[in-house]
Structure 1
Amino acid sequence: MTSRVTLISPATNPALRQARFDDGSSLDDGGAARAGSAAGSLPAAGQVYVSPTVRCRETAAALGLDGSAGPELAGLDVGRWRGRTLDEVAADEPAELARWLSDPGAAPHGGESVRDLCERVSRWLDACGQVAGRTLAVVEPEIVRAVVVRVLGAPEAAFWRVDVPPLSATELSGRSGRWNLRLGRALGSSEDEAGH
């Protein structure tokens, strides 16, 4: 039994453009237009999931996807840092930010640690591996990072070393828990249109 999982990162919103921890803002005009132009370019899937954030729900809608809310695919809970820029946090809490970026088990913001996120996403991925066919999920970039770390067997400290472009597809295929990985293809490319 082969399972296929395609993770779609959301289109841009003001928070993403400003390096701000997600604040629940809608897609910006450019992001919405790019997502709309990629509608119809994704292969059919037996299961479709969407992270509960506004930008993921709006990206899914623009792509023409009707997916189930996936609470296990929620973005990283950054506690009191939500809505703040990285520069603001660095100025106000430099030691806490440094610890958070270097220790996957740390959650100085009062939210969720990177380790907890990776474990949560790993459980979801294991469940996907038990389902034949294709799963599509529109998810926050940190979900894609956690999946990449898990699939490659990389240390959780590698989480911050993975860049996830907006509106890109990360694809997995495998069986019995062994995944192959294809990273960061822009949506709407000729390969999407060919159904790969």
Structure 2
Amino acid sequence: MKNFYLLTFSLLTIISLTACQSAYAQNAKTLKDLKGINILYFNPEVFPDIEEIKDPTYSAFYAAVSEKNHHFRNYKMLRVDSYIPFDSVDAESIMEFCRNNNAQFAIVPKVKYFKVGFGKYIFSNQVIVSLKMFDSAGKMVAQTDYDTFKKNARILGSAENSIKIGTEGAMNNMAKDFSKSKRFF
């Protein structure tokens, strides 16, 4: 009788361990899928369209994005040196870029400069950073913007700092929208 109980117990132990191991393997596979999220960032559309300010704008924008993404180790930023117009985004091109770069999301940014002041006296360089996020199917998931003058009331500072603050603020707004709606990941 003891052998029967011992045999039954050992069979049940083996079955439960096998079931736990397969469940763990399935969970590990889904966690691995979540860790490999790639997000494409396109070059921002710059307004006004002046060649001299595009390169500094790109470098300040990507510096802010990489600093912000440094905190999220599960996400990988992919920079695309291509321009997509912010107001007329083509879903087919977004799908193609995501497919070719193995990305789940794409962000199309816009940086709009404006000067605060009276006439020829200018007090500061301010920006509005706008972001549109698309999924790999080309469907817009979220849109947000951040105005450095209205939100931070910055009067002094460089344009590069304004871009960094605006980019981080827009990314924070997007994260808040996702946490409220719980539709992200």
Structure 1 or 2: more helix by fraction: 2
| TM-score, scaled to structure 2 | 0.26
For the pair shown, which has the larger CA radius of gyration, 1 or 2? 2
| TM-score, scaled to structure 1 | 0.25
Higher RCO (Cα < 8 Å, 6 or more apart): 1
Structure 1 or 2: more strand by fraction: 2
